[in-house]
Amino acid sequence: MKRSLVLSCVLLAAGAAAGVAHAATPHAKDPCATKPSKWQREQCEDYTRSAPGDEYFGRMKLSYLGINNTFHDEAIRAGAYTTNSGIISRVNFADEALNAWAKRYPGDPQLARSYFLAVQMYQKIYTQSAQQKAWRYMHLLVTRFPTTYFGKIERADLARGFTEHWFAKAQACPAPVPTATPMPKAGEPAIDVIEPPCLQPTPSPAPVASSTP
């Protein structure tokens, strides 16, 4: 009787100790909760939300460094502006990879830099779709990454005003049709529709008379 009573007391004490240990570590599954400082916890959380450096996205299988390098390098090739189809194609592949990355790792802090580089690139592509994408990404940075360096830059750019640039369709020189620049609505960017050089009509070749032998 005494032995069973002692055994019961030992088991109860062990269970209580286990319960105390469990209560003392409520965040045992969170590896960042044990960090001693707030800065270290934030760094740990950023690390756990980040995409691995060797993970690839999109049809071209680009890493996040490959995405950034594409936007950076093509912006240099574009110069002041471009409508080059080769540049646009490479940029669109990088943008596709960026969207796949953002969908899989929405909390990755490196996304802010990549969206900023995308804005810098799309601002140089003088097509309507590219200009509108630059506008959307500027607002995305301001809303999703407002406290980052890149979000603050875009907030300042939007406060100064943003003008979209794209080329109007070329018209025949003899009878050009003027293109009216649409007036922006409140809260929308200004628009600059650029008149391209006109197309010279190609004359039909004159018939050549053949001599009868």
Q: Is 206 within the bounds of a domain?
A: no
- Which residues does 88 contact at the CB level (< 8 Å), separation at least 6? 82, 125, 127, 130
pTM for the full predicted model: 0.66
Q: Is 6 within the bounds of a domain?
A: no
Q: Is 30 within the bounds of a domain?
A: no
Evaluate whether 64 touches 53 at the Cβ level (below 8 Å).
yes
- Which residues does 47 contact at the CB level (< 8 Å), separation at least 6? none
Q: Is 116 within the bounds of a domain?
A: yes
* Amino acid letter, 148: T
Q: How much is the average pLDDT of 94-108?
A: 95
Q: Is 120 within the bounds of a domain?
A: yes
Q: How much is the average pLDDT of 102-128?
A: 95
Q: Is 115 within the bounds of a domain?
A: yes
Q: How much is the average pLDDT of 62-81?
A: 96
Structurally, the chain folds into a number of domains equal to: 1
Expressed as residue numbers, the domain containing 158 is 58-168
- pLDDT score of 123 more than 90: yes
Residues 142-197: tens digit of each pLDDT: 999 999 999 999 999 999 999 999 988 767 776 656 666 777 788 888 888 887 77
Q: Is 126 within the bounds of a domain?
A: yes
Q: Is 179 within the bounds of a domain?
A: no
